[in-house]
């Protein structure tokens, strides 16, 4: 998934009201925001990011301090792993949990949850 994500961009959101990011960037209503998956997954945060190393995260977990080891688990979502979809604990939450997961929309080879539905995001 890191070397070949389903898209170079992900986590598309539409700003329903204006807000400011922690760095002072202003996001006006109607702005579409997306995460740059390609940039994150091929960034210098990974040693030799273009090569396949099936033990990459195992090695990073072993080298990390005890308090940092969970960052490198397969089910952990963080700022360096924005693919999401590792289960209910890591995915954005639904505003109306009783309604369940939104139906899928399909555009060519891309399949995604209905982007018109409102979701909750938690800070990681």
Mean pLDDT, residues 64-76 taken together: 79
Are 77 and 70 a contacting pair, CB within 8 Å? no
Mean pLDDT for 24-35 is 91
Strands 119-120 and 93-94: antiparallel
Which pLDDT value is given to residue 68?
Answer: 85
pTM over 0.85: no
Helix (H) or strand (E) holding 118: none
Structure tokens at 116: 């018109």
Given this model, what pLDDT does residue 34 score? 82
């Amino acid at each position: 998934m890191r070397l070949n994500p389903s898209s170079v961009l992900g986590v598309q959101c539409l700003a329903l009201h204006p807000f400011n990011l922690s760095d002072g960037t202003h996001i006006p209503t109607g702005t579409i925001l997306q995460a740059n998956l390609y940039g994150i997954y091929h960034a210098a945060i990974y040693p030799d990011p273009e090569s396949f190393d099936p033990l990459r995260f195992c090695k990073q977990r072993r080298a990390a301090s005890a308090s940092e080891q969970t960052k490198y688990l397969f089910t952990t979502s963080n700022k360096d792993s924005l693919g999401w979809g590792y289960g209910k604990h890591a995915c954005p939450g639904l505003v109306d949990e009783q309604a369940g997961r939104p139906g899928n929309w399909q555009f060519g080879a891309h399949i995604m949850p209905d982007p018109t539905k409102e979701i909750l995001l938690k800070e990681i």
